[in-house]
A and B are shown apart, each in its own frame.
Chain A
Amino acid sequence: MALTSQDIARVANLARLELRPDETAHTLQQLNGFFTLVQQMGAVNTDGVEPLAHPAAVLGEVALRLRDDIASETNQREASQVSAPAVERGLFLVPKVIE
């Protein structure tokens, strides 16, 4: 199946990317080239195969580590906002959020 420019527009919007019309065409052609490669996966029989989300899981069960509930962080606002585009009174500023 081949992607359409509508797919590209939908995906770009989901990803909050803005493609120029010429880029859209170019991207469409490249992505279709890529997805012909991806079609090969269909040939592999994966019935009853568990997806492998974490490499170590091949060796057996991996369990999430849990930390004790201790609040030890100090105020890091200043250092964390050094590279912020727009800050006022400690708040990050953005164009009005509409609910």
Chain B
Amino acid sequence: MSNDAKSLLVQGYEVVIGFETHTQLTTQSKIFSRASTAFGAAPNTQASAVDFALPGALPVMNKGAVQRAIEFGLAVNAHIAEQSVFARKNYFYPDLPKGYQISQFEIPVVQGGRVEFFLGDEKKSVRLVRAHLEEDAGKSLHEDFIGLSGIDLNRAGTPLLEIVTEPDMRSSAEAVAYARELHKIVTWIGICDGNMQEGSFRCDANVSVRKPGAPLGTRREIKNLNSFKFMQQAMDYEIRWQIGQLEDGHAIQQATVLFNADTGETRAMRSKEDAADYRYFPDPDLPPLMIGRDWVERVRSEMTELPRVMAQRFVADYGLPTYDAGQLTQSKPIAAYFEAVALASKQPKLASNWVMGELSRRLNAEEKSIEVSGISAHQLAVLIGRIADNTISNNAAKQVFEALWTGEGKDVDALIEAKGLNQMNGADELEKIIDEVLAANSKNVEEVRAGNSKAFNALVGQAMKATKGRANPAQVNDLLKKKLA
């Protein structure tokens, strides 16, 4: 387990990081109301009586949010609670219309589980404590109003799955790798759109440092890290800051801090100071959430194959190197494209090379996603087939690829024909050409006989030239050797 793994020390301190991630679920409607969850509507136009917390309004639970929680739980091998309880977290804040947030406290819907990923070539495994369903708050807008804030409740009631880890991570790099893997999982299974700019995937990092072997240090929570870049910056700054404090003999005070991307610094929040006592109690408006085993099994049977599992299968079934398998399962469309090519061409390794090589190079160059690739999986499969059956050389294949990409042609074999790229395997035709080459280069022939290998290579080159590169170099070698023997 990663927390047993030897950890890299910073100035003699061990870094301890735990994550809390708020993932907005991809439901059409809010968790307790029928208002839309679409992003970017005019202020307060996507809020119902429930979201405005009008007198008499009551919550009714969205099945889609529960479904997504189950999918996540299965994706991380967690326990799905047969019975979980919604509780009220009581505190006053203008973007919290009811004066309490409906969340899960004592009994969350997803319990335990782990997220596994590679940090370089080291396998890491971060244990999850829980993942619970809750409602998002609205937004306080501070611009435009002097001395005032404007409250927009469009986001209020958007379903969230809050995913909480054990303090298992030992470096900012490992924490970011965890966050990337988690992001990959929730987007892969489609429970979250992963849009970090719009706040669909928000991370809070609990950071503390300690001397090796010492008990856990006091942690500070960095809130709302919604870019992987800032995530790393914020944690590195926080780690340095905490070590600096300790080195100067100051104790760390538990605090919630915000990261300022402009200054690259973290600073403690001034609000929510006295909100420590949330007075949680089971929400009397909502009976316990019951999830039958049959539902869990149905979801399991319908679940899409997870990236980790798919990578293992690519290694086992296609004999790909672990590295290839990992790269090809970075995104669902790439994995699907690869598998289509591999199955059609029966050449998994060639397919992997071409998808990760030529294809991704062209896609990157034109900033295209694989869904709009200039070459279909079928075309690439045929092309690879022609390399495999020695119809064309690798270099010739690149020319065909180019032609397919630019739309010069659609049919692989037609292009090979038109460009006259098929390798000549007919022995007699080749023999005739070689005889001509030998006749025309008697000087070289003598030098070869005198044991000059350079001259032999020159003859090979002449022969290839004469065949316009269509000959199989190996075959040319054999024939020359035979004739000069």
Minimum CB distance partner of A57 in chain B: B287
Bound-state Cα–Cα, A94 to B66, Å: 34
Bound-state Cα–Cα, A71 to B287, Å: 23
Would you call A93 an interface residue if the criterion is a C-beta within 8 Å of the partner chain's C-beta atoms?
yes
- B94 and A92: CB pair below 8 A? yes
Bound-state Cα–Cα, A53 to B282, Å: 7
Residue in B29, B30, B46, B148 whose CB lies within 8 Å of A75: B46
Residue in A63, A71, A81, A96 whose CB lies within 8 Å of B149: A96
Kindly list chain A residues whose C-beta atoms are within 8 Å of the C-beta of B258: 99
Residue in A72, A76, A90, A93 whose CB lies within 8 Å of B29: A72
- Chief secondary structure at chain B's binding surface: loop
Bound-state Cα–Cα, A4 to B272, Å: 25
Minimum CB distance partner of A56 in chain B: B287
Given A67-B63, A72-B34, are A90 and B287 also a contact pair (CB < 8 Å)?
no
Kindly list chain B residues whose C-beta atoms are within 8 Å of the C-beta of A93: 145, 148-151
Kindly list chain A residues whose C-beta atoms are within 8 Å of the C-beta of B60: 65, 67
Chain B residues within 8 Å of chain A by Cβ, number: 58
Bound-state Cα–Cα, A70 to B450, Å: 87
Bound-state Cα–Cα, A93 to B331, Å: 43
* Centre residue among B61, B148, B290 by max chain A CB count within 10 A: B148
Would you call A1 an interface residue if the criterion is a C-beta within 8 Å of the partner chain's C-beta atoms?
no
B465 to chain A, nearest CB (A): 68
Minimum CB distance partner of B148 in chain A: A93
Bound-state Cα–Cα, A16 to B145, Å: 25
- B148 and A95: CB pair below 8 A? yes
Would you call A61 an interface residue if the criterion is a C-beta within 8 Å of the partner chain's C-beta atoms?
yes
- A90 and B43: CB pair below 8 A? yes
Kindly list chain B residues whose C-beta atoms are within 8 Å of the C-beta of A13: 274
A81 to chain B, nearest CB (A): 7
Kindly list chain A residues whose C-beta atoms are within 8 Å of the C-beta of B336: none
Bound-state Cα–Cα, A44 to B63, Å: 40
Would you call A77 an interface residue if the criterion is a C-beta within 8 Å of the partner chain's C-beta atoms?
yes
* Centre residue among A53, A77, A93, A99 by max chain B CB count within 10 A: A99
A91 to chain B, nearest CB (A): 3
Bound-state Cα–Cα, A87 to B64, Å: 33
- Interface window among B47-55, B206-214, B386-394, B396-404: B47-55
Minimum CB distance partner of B51 in chain A: A73
- A67 and B62: CB pair below 8 A? yes
Would you call B28 an interface residue if the criterion is a C-beta within 8 Å of the partner chain's C-beta atoms?
yes
- Within residues 33 to 50 of chain B, which ones have a CB less than 8 A from any CB in chain A? 33-38, 42-49
Minimum CB distance partner of A81 in chain B: B44
- Within residues 76 to 101 of chain B, which ones have a CB less than 8 A from any CB in chain A? 86, 92-95
Given A80-B54, A93-B149, A94-B148, are A99 and B270 also a contact pair (CB < 8 Å)?
yes
Bound-state Cα–Cα, A89 to B47, Å: 15
Minimum CB distance partner of A16 in chain B: B92
Given A67-B63, A96-B148, A97-B94, are A91 and B141 also a contact pair (CB < 8 Å)?
yes
* Centre residue among B149, B153, B269 by max chain A CB count within 10 A: B149
Bound-state Cα–Cα, A80 to B288, Å: 30
B130 to chain A, nearest CB (A): 19
Interface string of B114-153 (1 = CB under 8 A from A): 0000000000000000000000000011101101111111
Bound-state Cα–Cα, A95 to B151, Å: 11
Interface string of B62-74 (1 = CB under 8 A from A): 1111100000000
Minimum CB distance partner of B26 in chain A: A69
Bound-state Cα–Cα, A73 to B95, Å: 20
Residue in B29, B95, B140 whose CB lies within 8 Å of A71: B29
Kindly list chain A residues whose C-beta atoms are within 8 Å of the C-beta of B93: 97
- B271 and A98: CB pair below 8 A? yes
Interface string of B182-216 (1 = CB under 8 A from A): 00000000000000000000000000000000000
Would you call A14 an interface residue if the criterion is a C-beta within 8 Å of the partner chain's C-beta atoms?
yes
Residues of chain A having any CB pair with chain B under 8 Å: 13-14, 16, 53-54, 56-57, 61-73, 75-77, 80-81, 88-99
Q: Which 4 A-B pairs have the closest CB atoms?
A: A69-B64, A91-B150, A66-B63, A63-B290
Q: List 15 A-B contacts (CB under 8 A).
A: A61-B290, A65-B287, A69-B28, A69-B62, A70-B34, A71-B38, A72-B34, A88-B145, A89-B43, A90-B43, A91-B43, A93-B149, A95-B149, A96-B148, A96-B149
